[in-house]
Amino acid sequence: MPDGNRKDKNINELSGKVAFVTGAAGSNGIGRAIALRLAQAGVQVAVNDLRPAQAGRPGLPAAVAEIEALGSRGLAVYGDVADSAQVAAMFAQTSDHFGRLDILVNNAGAPAGADRVPVVELCEDAFDLVQRVNVRGTFLCSRAAARQMIDQAEGGRIINIASTAGKQGVARYAAYCASKFAIRGFTQSLALELAAHNITVNAICPGLIASERIDDMAAALRPADLSAAEYRQQMIEAALQTIPLGRLAETGDIANLAAFLSSEQASFITGKSISVDGGVQLD
Ligand code: NAP
């Protein structure tokens, strides 16, 4: 079969499916890129984030407009992924609007900030916030989605955004690493539990991406004698030295893998944590 036909089949196969993507308000974030890549394949997408648009961030209405410009349907769903009542309300809103759920992408992540310090200086609140959003949020949304997918009895896909820092410890990232290692363990357990329902559960482990998040990281980690912009540049140059394929990851690299894992072509892949890092981590 020619490649073009295979591509069309892939697009048709996702057409009409419904996805819920958390943490999708960032204009150059991973969640937004995944939502748009799925919409391009015909998926109807509920995009979540914590709060309405802020200064300098177009927010979810812009994401919904972009989804609709691609010919699909979008829905903005505000709420905290780590609050069980809000999660229940958000999944009910999505179900009322689209009538079903086929794909969950757990992408929301706690902002980088007070947690990016050595463990001996790490305060409990900063540690807890990271676990709350990254781990508890992934758990609550996965539980809500899995219950609905089991009821529908037509299979499904759960995709968790972990990190290369979920496979290898990084100094001053202890809280973040702990949360991303936890997501990988959660992914494996849930994959085993849901396999009988034809629901696959996988994690994507991106390497460093030049998204808005890297600005927060630079601001949190910079030494006193460097501005955030100078330290951001240093971080990028240091990362580039370690990447065999010679560039940082782009959000589109992550979105392409998420679309593949959502597709029928990935139906026999579950419980995996796949690095998208240009060859830094080799299995
Ligand atoms: P991002 O644009 O900051 O995405 C994270 C989003 O999650 C933000 O829009 C944030 O909203 C939202 N969020 C935070 N707490 C939430 C909550 N309780 N409920 C709902 N939404 C919440 O950053 P990104 O770089 O695209 O990161 C996306 C994911 O990829 C994260 O899980 C991150 O750990 C992972 N990752 C990123 C990189 C990278 O280099 N960028 C590398 C590896 C893995 P607010 O901005 O309003 O807080």
The residues near 147 (Cβ < 8 Å, ≥ 6 apart) are: none
Residue 246 CA, chain-centre distance (Å), reads: 23
Of 17, 180, 231, 272, the active-site residue reads: 180
Spatial CA neighbour of 188 closest among 215, 213, 158, 229? 158
Q: In this structure, how many other beta carbons lie within 10 angstroms of the beta carbon of residue 230?
A: 13
DSSP assignments along 79-117, one per residue: --TT-HHHHHHHHHHHHHHHS---EEEE---PPSSTTSS
SS (H, E, C) 47-64: EEECCCCECCECHHHHHH
75 near 63, Cβ under 8 Å? no
**What pLDDT, on a 0 to 100 scale, did the predictor assign at position 54?**
65
Residues 6+ apart with CB under 8 A from 93: 46, 75, 77
**Phi and psi at residue 27, to the nearest 5°:** -65, -30
What is the DSSP code (8-state) at residue 167?
Answer: T
180 is catalytic: yes
Residue 276 Cβ inside 6 Å of ligand 1? The answer reads: no
Q: Which domains does the chain have, with CATH numbers?
A: 10-209+250-271 (3.40.50.720)
**Residue found by looking up tokens 């150059």 in the block:** 28
pLDDT 10s digits, 130-161? 999 999 999 999 999 999 999 999 999 999 99
The residue behind tokens 């463990």 is 119
Indicate whether residue 206 lines ligand 1 (CB < 6 A): yes
pLDDT of residue 252: 97
Helices (H), 158-275: 174-194, 212-221, 228-241, 251-262
Decide: 23 and 110 in contact? Cβ < 8 Å: no
Helix (H, G, I), strand (E, B) or coil at 186: helix
Residue 23 and residue 31: Cα distance in Å, rounded?
6
CB of 133 within 6 A of ligand 1: the answer is yes
Pocket residue to mutate for ligand 1, from 49, 54, 106, 183, most atoms within 8 A of Cβ: 49
Candidate list 17, 167, 173, 176, residue with the active-site label: 176
Q: What is the chain's pLDDT, residue by residue, as a tens digit (283 residues)?
A: 344 444 444 545 799 999 999 999 988 899 999 999 999 999 999 999 998 766 656 799 999 999 999 999 999 999 999 999 999 999 999 999 999 999 999 999 999 899 999 999 999 999 999 999 999 999 999 999 999 999 999 999 999 999 999 999 999 999 999 999 999 999 999 999 999 999 999 999 999 997 777 887 788 788 899 998 999 999 899 999 999 999 999 999 999 999 999 999 999 999 999 999 999 999 8
User: Cα 75 from chain centroid?
Assistant: 17
Told to judge if 176 belongs to the known catalytic residues of this protein, a careful annotator would answer yes
**Using a 6 Å cutoff on CB, does residue 113 contact ligand 1?**
no
Give me the residue label for tokens 């995944």.
34
